[in-house]
């Protein structure tokens, strides 16, 4: 039996996104972008959903409701919720964000459709549409017309257009649902046609878009439904206008109860986004890679080869000042943070995470724009920076706020930047630059081995200074720094397992940090552990562990950032791209080959 846990279903279109709970209520959405102020904030209200005073939600309640069924329409992000009453009355709700092809481009407005149909009996419903102004949590101001309501907040103005009675929505009055109805919440402009029939058309076209996209995926034989849902959700995490990929759609869901480890993940971490496009590469996805590489090239224009911060705004913002909002927080566990101080950090692995995805552009003929000599010269400036800092202290990929060290993972990522530049120069037929970067990479490799390897413990250490265990060391083989069958990697795996494994889960590290001892397991680390087990020949053990983690997914088939090892409860921001990346990587590596079903 699953522990009580965060269990929400996202809808979106790569411009708008919302999280919907098991009863069909919108509980989180920000406007006009993922990183904007909330329109729906019930998720961080600290109140129960049945609290009559609760703000920041969009619920469709069924009188005398006794049960709820909920699932996505197959291979789409159109969410179907069916509410059943004690007398047998039933109502269907279809929720989606329009995403269609129109005039040779993708139509993806900041808009939400809710289509409501009576399926049986004479159901009575009540619509509670209570947007908030923003981070204050105060209810949005409204004005109304004959078939619309305007909502005004810090995010601007949104308009609800509907064929339901406007006064019934304003007064939150119970009424009999006798005919199909539609609600469209979107730009503050007149709706140009029948809201219901246009909604039905948009639903069909949106579902068709997603099914066509899923058909383009190269899937493993096993675990296909899990991989499809993860892939769709990763795509929903892209702000397509710029190509940025957010780490998660939420802010401040704590990593563990009352821990204070509450962070705002609605921004683009260069590291996280690299892992996303790498995972989708396994499935043959090229559209997101094209867009994200464009985002990176724009960032390189901003940095001009100097210091690169680890996280940027989805509109290329460089400053993300952190502050505390007034909302009580998830289950009342504040603080609610807006912004992220990590933009000020030195995290040296970022240089590798920029070069690695862009290096693919010199090889991949699927891309709309392949890399050229000018791109290579821009990347060389990043490589120079990687070479300059690889043996210097940084905050590390776990973003320690009050201490610095020379982290092995950061050093190896810098090595990978120089290594891939050598390969890119080979692809561009630049032998002198190839030899230059190969010499740099070889020098760095030898230095990292000399300073990070601990012969007495037969493992690599987390930093050049000490011998602590760190789950990121499991990435040394994945990055190509060392072979998975090398005794030094096998020894490192054994050391990490002994120090960090907690049942079926893996901690990031097991030492006190700025907030005390870590309590929860970081889900991507467990997936790294599964990959390492498989790479070292412990495949059956890896498969069994993978099945255990899959069983921890929400009803929507997704994962958050962390899992409580003792209870299996999900914690941390949601849905977490890192975790879905790990799911895809493990599924593709562990699946039986297609040839086995000939």
Which letter does DSSP use for residue 9 in this model? E
Query: For residue range 281-310, what is the model confidence (pLDDT) as tens digits?
Result: 999 999 999 999 999 999 988 876 578 899
Secondary structure string (H, E, C) spanning 469-480: CCHHHHHHHHCC
Instruction: Assess whether pLDDT exceeds 60 at residue 4.
Output: no
Structure confidence at residue 3 (pLDDT): 44
d(CA 383, CA 352) in angstroms, rounded, equals: 8
Structure confidence at residue 305 (pLDDT): 59
Structure confidence at residue 416 (pLDDT): 98
Of 333, 248, 335, 327, whose CA–CA distance to 55 is shortest?
327
> Which residue reads 């078939």 in tokens?
147
Query: For residue range 503-531, what is the model confidence (pLDDT) as tens digits?
Result: 999 999 988 888 888 889 999 999 999 99
Of 108, 104, 77, whose CA–CA distance to 232 is shortest?
77
Structure confidence at residue 304 (pLDDT): 65
Mean of the pLDDT values across residues 243-257?
97
pLDDT band at 483 (very low <50, low <70, confident <90, very high): very high
pLDDT band at 488 (very low <50, low <70, confident <90, very high): very high
| Pair of tokens at residue 403 | 């201490």
Q: Give the DSSP per-residue string, 120-180.
A: ES--EEEEEEE-B-STT-PBPEEEE-SSEEEEEETTEEEEEEESS-HHHHHTT--EE--S-
Instruction: Assess whether pLDDT exceeds 60 at residue 589.
Output: yes
d(CA 352, CA 274) in angstroms, rounded, equals: 10
d(CA 243, CA 491) in angstroms, rounded, equals: 39
d(CA 67, CA 81) in angstroms, rounded, equals: 10
Domains of the chain in sequence order: 11-213 (2.70.98.10), 216-597 (1.50.10.10)
Helix (H/G/I), strand (E/B), else coil: 350: helix
Neighbours of 369 (CB within 10 A): 11
Mean of the pLDDT values across residues 315-339?
96
Helix (H/G/I), strand (E/B), else coil: 448: helix
Query: For residue range 173-231, what is the model confidence (pLDDT) as tens digits?
Result: 999 999 999 999 999 999 988 999 999 999 999 999 999 999 999 999 999 999 999 99
- The CA-based angle 192-197-201, given to 5 degrees, is 95
Structure confidence at residue 162 (pLDDT): 97
Please state which of the ranges 83-87, 99-103, 149-153, 357-361 shows the lowest mean pLDDT: 99-103
Query: For residue range 112-171, what is the model confidence (pLDDT) as tens digits?
Result: 999 999 999 989 999 999 999 999 999 999 999 888 999 999 999 999 999 999 999 999
- The b/e string for 117-128 (b: 16+ C-beta within 10 A; e otherwise) is bbeeeebbbbbe
């Amino acid at each position: 039996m699953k522990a009580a846990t965060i269990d929400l279903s996202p809808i979106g279109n790569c411009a708008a996104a919302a999280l919907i709970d098991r009863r069909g209520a919108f509980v989180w959405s920000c406007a006009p972008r993922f990183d904007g102020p909330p329109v729906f904030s019930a998720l961080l209200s600290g109140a129960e959903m049945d609290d009559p005073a609760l703000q920041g939600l969009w619920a469709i309640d069924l009188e005398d409701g006794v049960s709820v069924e909920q699932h996505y329409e197959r291979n789409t992000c159109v969410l179907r919720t069916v509410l059943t009453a004690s007398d047998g009355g039933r109502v269907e709700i279809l929720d989606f964000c329009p995403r269609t092809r129109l005039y040779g481009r993708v139509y993806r407005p900041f808009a939400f459709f809710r289509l409501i149909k009576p399926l049986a009996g004479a159901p009575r419903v009540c619509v509670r549409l209570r947007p908030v102004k923003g981070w204050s949590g105060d209810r949005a101001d409204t004005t109304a017309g004959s078939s619309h309501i305007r909502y005004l907040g810090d995010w601007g103005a949104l308009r609800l257009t509907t064929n339901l009675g406007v006064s019934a929505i304003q007064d939150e009055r119970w009424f009999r649902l006798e005919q199909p109805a539609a609600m469209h919440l979107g730009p503050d402009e007149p709706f140009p046609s029948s809201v219901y029939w246009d909604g039905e058309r948009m639903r069909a076209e949106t579902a068709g878009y997603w099914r066509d996209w899923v058909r383009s995926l190269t899937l493993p034989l096993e675990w296909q439904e899990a991989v499809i849902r993860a892939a769709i959700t990763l795509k929903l995490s892209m702000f397509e206008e710029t190509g940025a990929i957010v780490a998660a759609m939420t802010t401040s869901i704590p990593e563990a109860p009352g821990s204070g480890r509450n962070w705002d993940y609605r921004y683009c971490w260069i590291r996280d986004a690299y892992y996303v496009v790498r995972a989708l590469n396994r499935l043959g996805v090229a559209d997101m890679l094209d867009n994200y590489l464009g985002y990176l090239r724009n960032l390189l224009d901003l940095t001009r080869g100097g210091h690169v911060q680890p996280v940027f705004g989805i509109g290329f913002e460089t400053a993300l000042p952190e502050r505390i909002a007034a909302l009580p927080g998830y289950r009342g566990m504040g603080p609610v943070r807006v912004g992220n101080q990590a933009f000020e950090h030195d995290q040296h692995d970022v240089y590798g995470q920029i070069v690695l995805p862009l290096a693919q552009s010199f090889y991949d003929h699927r891309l709309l724009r392949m890399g050229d000599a000018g791109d290579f010269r821009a990347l060389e400036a990043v490589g120079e920076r990687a070479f300059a800092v690889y043996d210097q202290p940084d905050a590390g990929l776990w973003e320690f706020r009050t201490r610095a060290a020379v982290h092995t993972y950061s050093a190896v990522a810098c090595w990978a930047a120089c290594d891939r530049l050598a390969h890119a120069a080979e692809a561009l037929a630049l032998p002198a630059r190839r030899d230059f970067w190969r010499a740099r990479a070889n020098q760095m490799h030898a230095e990292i081995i000399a300073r990070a390897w601990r012969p007495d413990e037969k493992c690599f250490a987390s930093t050049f200074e000490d011998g602590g265990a760190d789950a990121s060391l499991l990435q040394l083989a994945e990055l190509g720094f060392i072979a998975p069958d090398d005794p030094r990697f096998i020894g490192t795996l054994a050391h990490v397992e002994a120090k960090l494994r907690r049942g079926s889960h893996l901690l990031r590290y097991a030492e006190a940090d700025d907030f005390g001892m870590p309590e929860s397991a970081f889900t991507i680390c467990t997936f790294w552990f599964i990959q390492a087990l498989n790479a070292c020949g412990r495949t059956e053990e890896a498969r069994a562990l993978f099945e255990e983690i899959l069983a921890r997914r929400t009803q929507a088939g997704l994962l958050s950032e962390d899992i409580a090892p003792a209870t299996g409860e999900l914690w941390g921001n949601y849905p977490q791209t890192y975790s879905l990346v790990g799911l895809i990587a493990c599924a593709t590596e562990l699946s039986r080959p297609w040839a086995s079903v000939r």
